[in-house]
Amino acid sequence: MIKIDHLAVSYGQGDSLIRVVNDVSFEVAKGETFGLVGESGCGKSTVLGALAGRNRQWTGSILIDGETIGQKRSISQLAKQQMVFQDPFGSIHPRHTIGRTLLEPLEIHGKDNRQERVEKALKDVGLPLNFRYRFPHQLSGGQRQRVAIARALILEPRILLLDEPTSALDVSIQAEILNLLKDLRDREKLTYILVSHDLAVVAHLCDRVAIMQNGGFVEIATKAQLLAGTVAHPYTRVLMDGSRGYVASRRSVGVTAS
């Protein structure tokens, strides 16, 4: 479904040019969830931005479902993949009702049967139909993220780009959103790329994971390798050790991770 060859992404021009992603290559099969993990600033979200068309200053090759993608995208190309952002409050217009938020992409892409599509999108993410009349401030963080997922799904994309979709949520809600994403992937035969700094989240949802450092991949590990701790690169082991320490520290103060 996705094939990336020698992707490089830069910001700025001339003497101020900064290379953020350097020579990244990977493939994602249909129905697979591929993870990007690493410390802040390593280039994870920048890779997603290039895939989504948000960043046009890149070189290399991007193929989506066999179609070559350029820096400028057509409407049909944009509809094939949709993005879910980290902050479910900041990514939803605060003065628009949920119904208005879900209608907007349908209007932009000229879709028909809009009210039926809105109702289906709400049902797909487990929200009551009367939520269409509510505003974002009337919803919890988990409910807002469900709306963000519904907005991404309403154009019937084949790919979801997930940028830290649970990191802004309470621990008790994170598992609900992850299970929702897993159910949607299996039911709709979706392909995911998931950016996260949390290896526990990655191991729950991803089939394979690319570990990023300083704009490049140091290792691509399988879910089995992560669970067994049989990764090859020292930096991957550092991330795993850090994740274990974080979970242990939470438990020591009485917080249980889902």
Per-residue pLDDT, 159: 97
Give the pLDDT confidence of 20-77 residue by residue, as tens digits: 999 999 999 999 999 999 888 899 999 999 999 888 889 999 999 999 998 888 888 8
β-bridge mates for residue 84, sequence order? 162
Coil, helix or strand at residue 223: helix
Query: What is the pTM assigned to this prediction?
Result: 0.89
Which stretches of the chain score pLDDT less than 70? 244-258
Instruction: Tell me the domains of the chain and their CATH numbers.
Output: 2-252 (3.40.50.300)
Per-residue pLDDT, 73: 83
Task: Say how many C-beta atoms besides its own lie within 10 A of residue 216's C-beta.
Answer: 16
Per-residue pLDDT, 252: 45
Per-residue pLDDT, 210: 95
**What are the start-end ranges of the E strands in 29-165?**
33-37, 58-64, 67-69, 81-84, 159-163
Q: Do 81 and 158 meet the contact criterion of CB atoms below 8 Å apart?
A: yes
Per-residue pLDDT, 244: 66
